[in-house]
Amino acid sequence: MEKSYQKLITGNQIYSQTKIFQDPEFFKKLAEGQKPDYLWIGCSDSRVPANEITKTESGEIFVHRNIANLVVHTDTNLLSVLEYAVKFLGVKHIIVCGHYGCGGVKASMTNTYHGYVDNWLRNIKDVYQQNMVELDAITDVRERENRLTELNVIEQVRNLAKTNIVQQAWSERELHLHGWVYGLHDGLINDLSVIHNSQEDINEIYRFEIKSTVKPRKAIVAPKKTIVKLSNAVAKIKNVGIVKPTNGVIKHKNGVAKKLIPQKAVSQKNKK
């Protein structure tokens, strides 16, 4: 037991020395503060470390983890993390990341008594209940577990969108919500492409009346194009208008003239 514990202390010393060797200013810069672009809401499973599987460094991802990556509206721990990340750190993206083979998802699919954790897993049972027709139609148990894992992530992203913290941020700036599932079997992330970027992406009953301070984007109007093409010594002017050429000069109706090599006059009728 002492050996397994000492492994952590030794590992920390190696980590520190390696970082200093690579960048002598690494810890000095890290101590100055953090400004991550991402909030990660993931599972507590030891096989899904946020920084490692995304190849990011310390200070790049703000992390909250719990069993089965749940977003529960009564969880003051999660809500505190969410508010701090959104309001004070100003994160641009919130990622809910589950993983295939999640023990919490598997346990929620049974009627086995586990203890206090069953109260927490009830949230996943509710997801199963809401999608029972689809899930019961999947005969392979593992495939059904995987699909419930995905549906659970999608539901947690929706729960994020329903919070006044996220909706307040939407009224002030852009904030993007994402749903991912990590594969333990191949180490790859499956982006579920869950689109929740504004109040319009959730049911009206969950929308708080918050006055938006975001200025609407001005529509970009493309200017009219003036295209001059020379073909068979004929000048064709679009969107401007043209008069009969004289002395090698094309005279536009707007008063702008362009000198060309003298060509035989061509009637307006033949130009069309």
Which tens digit of pLDDT belongs to each residue from 236-255?
A: 434 444 444 444 444 444 44
Q: Determine whether 99 is an active site residue.
A: yes
For the full predicted model, state whether its pTM sits above 0.85.
no
Exposure string of 137-170, with b = 16+ CB inside 10 Å and e = fewer, is: eeeeeeebbbbbbbbbbbbbbbbbbbbebbbebb
Q: Where are the beta strands (DSSP E) in the chain?
A: 38-43, 61-66, 93-99, 176-182, 189-191, 228-231, 234-237, 249-251, 257-259
Q: Given the structure tokens 């919070």, which residue do they identify? A: 163
The rounded mean pLDDT for the chain is 85
Q: Considering the chain, tell me which residue range(s) the CATH 3.40.1050.10 domain(s) occupy.
A: 34-206
pLDDT over threshold 60, residue 96: yes
Domain 34-206's class? Answer: alpha beta
Distance CA 121, CA 114 (A): 10
- Pair of tokens at residue 142: 């593992």
Predicted confidence at residue 118, as pLDDT, reads: 97
Task: Using the predicted structure, report yes or no on whether residue 235 has a pLDDT greater than 50.
Answer: no
Annotated catalytic residue 45 = yes
Beta partners for residue 39, in sequence order:
62, 94
Q: Which of 49, 72, 62, 55 is nearest to 95 (CA)?
A: 62
Average pLDDT over residues 224-232: 47
Active site includes 126?
no
Comparing 162 with 263, the larger pLDDT belongs to 162
- Strand-pairing partners, residue 40, are 63, 95
Active-site residue identified among 73, 75, 97, 99: 99
Q: Which of 45, 97, 158, 178 is catalytic?
A: 45
Identified catalytic residue from 64, 97, 102, 178: 102
Residue 196 catalytic?
no
Overall size of the chain counted in residues: 272
Q: Does pLDDT of 195 surpass 90?
A: no
In b/e form, how buried is each residue of 202-233, taking b as 16+ CB within 10 angstroms?
Answer: beeeeeeeeeeeeeeeeeeeeeeeeeeeeeee
* Residue 43 a catalytic site member: yes
